[in-house]
Structure 1
Amino acid sequence: MAFLSPTKKNINLHTHVTKSPLPRNPVLALKDPNWKMAMDDEYNALIQNKKWDLVPRPPDTNAIRSIWIFRHKEKSDGSFERHKARLVGNGAGQQVDIDCGETFSPVVKPATIRTILSLSLSKA
């Protein structure tokens, strides 16, 4: 028979998260614990993956602002999965050849690559 120490606490991994409404701005999002956790997760992932370096701003450059995008992620059956917050650059004010050159950021999911490879092998 096993006994739990009185200092150990049982952790419930099946907590029910209620679906919070989409916030209109980051200030409102920070007041909701669900959205704050989503924002913290995004920020920590960016730091952990070393996605940026803090550098001094050169005097002759325009700063690109960042914005938060808030979404409800859903499972394949359409049920609510989690709150998702993304921090993205807002390039709306950029001017080509002044603030940036040509940019391209390919994003491909592994399932897409497998599908294309499977189709190409079946046609060969």
Structure 2
Amino acid sequence: MITRTCDHTRESRQFPDHVLFHVSTAPTTEPSTFRQAQQHPVWWDAMRAEIDALHANQTWRLVQAPADANIVGCKWVYMIKRNHDGSVSRYKARLVAKGFHQTEGIDYTETFSIVVKPTTIRLVFSVAFSRGWSIRQPWMVYSSG
């Protein structure tokens, strides 16, 4: 086998302009801005997973904003979930509403909340029924008695 070193031809290699070399190390701290997060592929994957979950749960829909609406913006929040031993379990991104932009008298009574997991609902019902409490919603009332 003849290599470039053996036959003393040390030409520099020419790479096409579209080839990018990206050496990425996994981030160890959570970014505070989108600009910081976009530099790491793991955060892109986390954001894509969040958007996919919003679509799958039908909690996200792009609509035309009414002209007289006060638009409440959103921002990305990034978290590194860790195992008990401190190793990284996964990178998580959440898209959250900026509720502090609401205006009293226009959209002040509206609330924004994350989707509650079914296991949490079962736990609340279990505790309420075991203690004889009533659970009330505007459209329904549950009682253990």
Alignment TM class, shorter chain as reference:
0.5 to 0.7
SS across alignment from 1:88: strand
Q: How does 1:52-71 map to 2 (within 5 A)?
A: 52-71=60-79
Contact 2:80 2:89 in 1 (8 A): yes
Normalising by structure 2, what TM-score?
Answer: 0.58
Q: Give the aligned length.
A: 107
- Greater Rg by CA: 2
Query: Percent of counterpart pairs with the same letter?
Result: 34
User: 5+ residue gaps in structure 2?
Assistant: 1-24, 132-145
SS across alignment from 1:62: coil
SS across alignment from 2:65: coil
SS across alignment from 1:87: strand
The structure carrying a bigger helix percent of its residues is 1
Partner of 1:29: 37
Partner of 1:13: none
User: 5+ residue gaps in structure 1?
Assistant: 1-16
Give the counterpart letter for 1:31 in structure 2: Q
**Distance between the aligned counterparts of 2:127 and 2:87, measured in 1?**
30
Higher relative contact order (CA 8 A, sep 6+): 1
Post-superposition Cα deviations, 1:50-85, rounded to whole Å, max 9, x if no partner, equal: 212222111111111000001111235554211110
**Distance between the aligned counterparts of 2:57 and 2:124, measured in 1?**
28
Contact 1:19 1:80 in 2 (8 A): no
